[in-house]
Amino acid sequence: MKTVTLQRNKRKRISRARKQRVGTKSERKSSSILNTGRRAPNFSLNSTPDQKVSLKDFRGQPVILAFYPADWSPVCTDQLSLYAMVMPEFKKFNAELLAISVDNIWSHLAFAKDRKLNFPVLSDFEPKGKISRKFGAYKEKIGESARALFVLDDRGIVRWSHLSPDGVNPGAEGILSALEQLNKPNV
Amino acid sequence: MATTTTTRRSRRPSKTLLEPTGKETETYEPPKLVVPVDPSRDHIQGDPKAVLTLVEYGDYQCPFCGAAYPEVKKVQKEIGPKLRFVFRNFPLINVHEFATVAAETAEAAGAQGKFWEMHDFLYEHQRTLGDHSVALGYAKKLGLDTQRFERDISQHVYQKRIKDDFMGGVRSGVNGTPTFYVNGVRHDGPAEAEAMIESLTAKS
């Protein structure tokens, strides 16, 4: 009896997923982000014209990676301004936040200053999108990073990941929940 | 049976490196309000026991909130006594320099029973937010104890309340301002009267 229900539910899920699937095949393919349980590939990207930030520098503490499409989105609070305000909460978990997009470093500097961002904003500029691709967070067709979030544990293992639908600002709740889960054993 | 299901689920995430999680579209549900409306704490306009609830997380300096302000009035007029409207603070301090003091101003008026009057005034005079004397003048007009009003603001008496509002909003999935919740579920549609009325009445 239960099996029947499970199968029916599965069929429902699949058909729902099919209906919602939009875009070309390559776009769908690009929306596959690095899964939970995997080790995040190391990277080293510029945070200022003469400074690089490497992921492995943050071993021993949780890291939040926020890939986002572009600097200067025309809204009051974009995702990153919100994170700047929620930063004290992230810090309670000793977590570091790294924001990444393909914009160049000068754009990043001006953007970070304007929005008073209090975390490194990294430039995945040359070769363009190389790191975003490694995380499955690159949109080939438009040449921007996807709005993808990753929470890594102190060993650099992905413990939570999330890809937002286009135009949806994911907020900070998912990150906070994921950070809370990190502290619980055997999850 | 249950065991099999658990095993299968726990294995699923570690199949391939770049397997689509599919979570983002298949199971997308708008976030829910995790801090329930509390008549003893919240600022509520309308019957506190009304069947329909509209909650706004807003910032007094945000132009989008300013634009949504008359829309909320339209919603209230249209739906009438079946609706209660709740306002919570979500000041975007790093982009709006006057947002916090404006929130404190409304709370200080609220402590003397004039929250909604001040709330409306601030939204109707968004351009004067940098000049505190404007709000003070209105406080006098409302007949508030201005000494207490000024003291509450300068001593940041309501700072904790505002921060609690903010964090409750973050935990509920507020991602910008204004963010509305219709009967406890985030309203992802436009902050316009028509769309809000539609989703408020659709769920009743």
User: Looking at the 3D structure of chain A, how many domains does it have?
Assistant: 1
Closest CA to A82 of B55, B125, B62: B62
**Window from A55-59, A71-75, B64-68, B106-110 with minimum mean pLDDT:** A71-75
Q: Is residue B15 part of a domain?
A: no
Residue A25 belongs to a domain: no
The alpha-carbon gap from B141 to the nearest alpha carbon of chain A, in Å, equals 32
Those residues whose C-beta lies under 8 Å from the C-beta of residue A146, and which sit 6 or more positions away, are A30, A31, A33, A67, A69, A132, A137, A138, A139, A163, A164
Reported pTM: 0.81
- pLDDT at residue B5 above 90? no
Query: What chain B residue is nearest to A114 in terms of C-alpha separation?
Result: B95
Interface mutation vs chain A, best among B26, B34, B175, most A CBs within 10 Å:
B175
**Is residue A9 included in any domain, yes or no?**
no
Q: In this complex, is the C-beta atom of B185 within 8 Å of any C-beta atom belonging to chain A?
A: no
Q: What is the per-residue pLDDT across B161-183, written as a single tens digit (0 to 9) for each? A: 999 999 999 999 998 899 999 99
Q: Let me know if A135 is a catalytic residue.
A: no
Strand partners of residue B83? B52
The SS3 of residue B59 is coil
Distance CA A14, CA A18 (A): 6
Tell me which residue of A87, A36, A92, A98 sits closest to A63, measured CA to CA.
Answer: A98
Token pair 């009445």 in the structure block, residue = B201
In a domain, B29, yes or no: no
Banded pLDDT at B11 (limits 50, 70, 90): very low
The residue with greater pLDDT, B7 or A66, is A66
In whole angstroms, what is the distance from residue A77 CA to residue B146 CA? 33
Note down the domain range covering A52.
Answer: 34-182
Asked if A162 and B177 come within 8 Å (Cβ–Cβ), the reply is: no
Kindly provide the residue ranges of all beta strands, DSSP E only, lying in A5-50, ordered along the sequence: 44-48
Amino acid (one-letter) located at B70: P
Interface of A with B (CB under 8 A): 2-3, 6, 13, 16-17, 20-21, 28, 31-38, 75-79, 81-82, 84-86, 89, 115-116, 136, 161-165, 168-173, 176
In a domain, residue A28? The reply is: no
A122 within 8 A of A145, measured Cβ to Cβ: no
What CATH number is given to the structural domain containing B58?
Answer: 3.40.30.10
Q: How far is CA B73 from CA A59, B49, B81, B165, in A?
A: 51, 19, 13, 22
Q: B187 near B102, Cβ under 8 Å?
A: no
Instruction: Examine residue A53 and state whether it is found in any structural domain, yes or no.
Output: yes
Q: Taking CB atoms and an 8 Å cutoff, what residues of chain A touch B20?
A: 28, 31-33
Q: How far apart are CA A25 and CA A31, in angstroms?
A: 10
The number of residues in chain B equals 204
Please state whether the peptide bond connecting residue A120 to the residue before it is cis, i.e. omega within 30 degrees of 0: no
User: Residue A126: left if φ>0, alpha if ψ -120 to 50, beta else—which one?
Assistant: beta
Please say if the pLDDT value at position B103 is more than 60: yes
Q: Which residues contact B134 (CB under 8 A, 6 or more apart)?
A: B125, B128
Residue of B18, B29, B60, B159 for testing the chain A interface, max A β-carbons within 10 Å: B18
Residue A93 lies in a domain: yes
| ipTM attached to this prediction | 0.77
Tokens 């001593």 correspond to what residue?
B155
Is B61 part of the contact surface with chain A (CB cutoff 8 Å)?
A: no
| Sign of the CA dihedral with A59 first, then A63, A68, and A73 last | negative
CATH value at residue A126: 3.40.30.10
Q: pLDDT for B47-59, tens place per residue?
A: 999 999 999 999 9
Give the tens place of pLDDT for each residue, A121-149: 999 999 999 999 999 999 999 999 999 99
Residue B142: pLDDT above 60?
A: yes
Q: Compute the distance between CA of residue B2 and CA of residue B45 in angstroms, rounded to an integer.
A: 48
Does the residue A15 lie in any domain?
A: no
| B150 within some domain | yes
pLDDT of residue A12: 58
Q: Which helix (H) or strand (E) holds A17?
A: helix A2-20
- Residue A21 in domain: no
Q: Which domain holds residue B157?
A: 41-202
- pLDDT < 70 regions, chain A: 1-31, 74-77, 166, 185-187
Per-residue confidence (pLDDT) for residue A27, from 0 to 100: 39
Question: How many domains, in total, are found in chain B?
Answer: 1
If you average pLDDT over every residue of chain B, what do you get?
A: 89
Please check whether residue A154 is in contact with residue A37, taking contact to mean a CB–CB distance below 8 angstroms.
Answer: no
In a domain, B27, yes or no: no
Q: What is the pLDDT of residue A183?
A: 80
Instruction: At B204, list the tokens.
Output: 């009743």
> pLDDT for A71-97, tens place per residue?
987 665 689 999 999 999 999 999 999
Each residue of B147-165: pLDDT tens digit?
Answer: 999 999 999 999 999 999 9
**pLDDT 10s digits, B14-29:** 333 444 444 444 567 8
